[in-house]
Amino acid sequence: MSTRIVSEHTLAPTLAPTLAPALAPIGTTTTAMLKRLVAFDTTSRNSNLPLIAFVRDWLDSHGVPYRLSHDPAGQKANLHAIIGPREAGGIALSGHVDTVPVDGQAWTRDPFRLHEEGGRLYGRGAADMKGFVACCLAAVPDLVRSDLRRPVHLFITFDEETTMDGARALVADIAESGLRPALCIVGEPSLMQPILAHKGRLAVRVSVTGRPGHSSEPGRGVNAIQAAAEAIAWIAAEARRLAAEGPFEDGFDPPHTTTHVGTIEGGTILNIIPERCAFVMEWRAIPGHDPYAQFERLRAHVAETIEPAMKAVDPASGFAYEVVGDIPGMGLPAGHELTDLVKQITGANATGKVSYGTEGGLYEAAGVPSIVCGPGNIQQAHQPDEWIAIEQLDACDAFIRRLADRLAA
C-alpha cells in the first residue's frame, strides 16, 4: 500500500486495571454487542469508519488505548487495542468486520438487524465474523479488571473478504510501533475447534489480446477467446494432475493443491473474431507447495505452446498476467505452545486444517505464530440468513475469560 495513516489514542502510558470505566454506551452482553455490530453495513465496498467510531467510544469508556491504521483513501481503518501492560508480547485476538454483500441473496429477514430465533442469531456477519469481535468487545470490562501480566491485543481489520490489505496495513503498523504480540488467535468460525493450518491462495487475472476480424476469415485474425480456452484446458489438466500426483498433506480436504478458473469474459458478437478475453484463476496451495512455481508452469506453457501461433499472425497479440490476490498459507506445529494452550482452554483433543485462507497466514509471515479458533460454523458464512448459535458465543465468551486467567497467572 502506497499510503498509510496512523493515529494513536492513549489515555495513559500503561493501562491501569484499577481505573473505573465510565458508563458503558450499551449493555455488555455479547448478544447486545453483536446487535450493534450487525447494524453497521460494513460490506467491503463500504467504509467501516462508523463501526470503528463505535468501538473507539466503547474502548474510551473503559480506558483502553488503541492505534488506528487506515487504507490509502482514509475511508477504512484497522484498530489495534491493548489491554494490560502496554508492551509487546502477549496474545492477540484478531477479527475482521467487513462482510460479503447481500445483493441477490434470498434473505427472509433484514440482514442488518439481528434476529434471534430458536437459539440462533441471524444477521450478515453474525458468523463471519462479527460474532467473534462481539465476544472480544463484550469481554473488555472483565479484561480491564483482570490483573493481566501479559497484554491482550485486539485486532479489528478491514477488507479481509477482498484483498486482506487491512491485515497488511496492521502488520506494517505493529512493526512500526514495536507492539507486536507474541501469539495470535484468529477467530474465524471453527466451532471453537483449533485449526493449525490453512492453504495459501494465489489469484491471477489473465488477459489475452488477439486481433479482430470478420469471422468468415479466421486466418486473418487472432481469436482471444480460443487462445484463452487453450490455456484454461491446460489449467483443468493441471487440476487433475495435482489431484493424482500431489504433493499431498493429510488433514486438508482435498489433501493437495488445487487450481481452477472462476470467471471469464470476452467477445462482442458472433461474427467478429474476439480481440479481448480475460479470466481470473487461483491456486490454493498446501503449506510448502509454492503457488508461484505453479504460476510459472502456466506462463511457460502459454509462451511455448499457445503464443507462437498468435504472434505469427500479429506480434502484438499475447497473454498478460496480474496478481490480484496473494494470501500466504498458515502452518502451526502440532507441538507449539499456542497449540497446547488453545487445546487446553477449549478442551479439544483434536486439531484441524482447512482449505480457505485467513489473516493468520499474514501474521505468521510477520513472525507472529497464529492459530484459528472462533465461534460459529464456516458453512453459515456468506449465506443468506447467515446465523450463529448462541451456545457458540457462550463458548467463545468462556474461552476468552479462561485465556485472561492464564495471562494473569
- In the prediction, which pLDDT does 392 show? 98
Nearest to 114 by CA among 94, 95, 130: 130
CATH placement of domain 200-327: 3.30.70.360
Mean pLDDT throughout 269-283? 98
Distance of CA 99 to the CA centre of its chain: 10
d(CA 48, CA 180): 24
* 329-380 residue pLDDT tens: 999 999 999 999 999 999 999 999 999 899 999 999 999 999 999 999 999 9
* pTM exceeds 0.85: yes
Q: CB of 60 within 8 A of CB of 52? A: no
Point out the catalytic residue in the list 71, 159, 160, 359.
Answer: 160
pLDDT value, residue 88:
96
Instruction: Exactly one of 98, 128, 326, 386 is catalytic; name it.
Output: 98
159 and 29 in contact (C-beta within 8 Å)?
no
Using CA atoms, how far apart are residues 365 and 349, in angstroms rounded to an integer? 27
Instruction: Spell out the residues 6+ positions from residue 34 whose beta carbon is closer than 8 angstroms to its own.
Output: 114, 121, 123, 126, 130, 131, 134, 393
Domain ranges of the chain: 6-197+329-408, 200-327
Distance (Å, whole) CA 138 – CA 234: 51
Mean pLDDT to the nearest integer, 190-207: 97
Residue 160 designated active-site = yes
The cell for 116 is 434471534
Sheet containing 276-285: order of strands: 258-266, 276-285, 200-209, 318-327
Q: What are residue 203's DSSP bridge partners?
A: 282, 325
Least confident range of 19-33, 140-154, 194-208: 19-33
- Report whether pLDDT(19) > 90: no
pLDDT at 8: 58
76-101 pLDDT, tens per residue? 999 999 999 999 999 999 999 999 99
Please give the angle made by the CA atoms of 324, 328 and 331, to the nearest 5 degrees.
160
Give the CATH H-level superfamily of domain 6-197+329-408. Answer: Zn peptidases (3.40.630.10)
In this prediction, residues 171-195 reach a mean pLDDT of 97
Question: Would you call 176 a catalytic residue per the annotation?
Answer: no
Instruction: Tell me which H or E stretch contains 281.
Output: strand 276-285
Residues near 250 by beta carbon (within 8 Å), at least 6 away in sequence: none
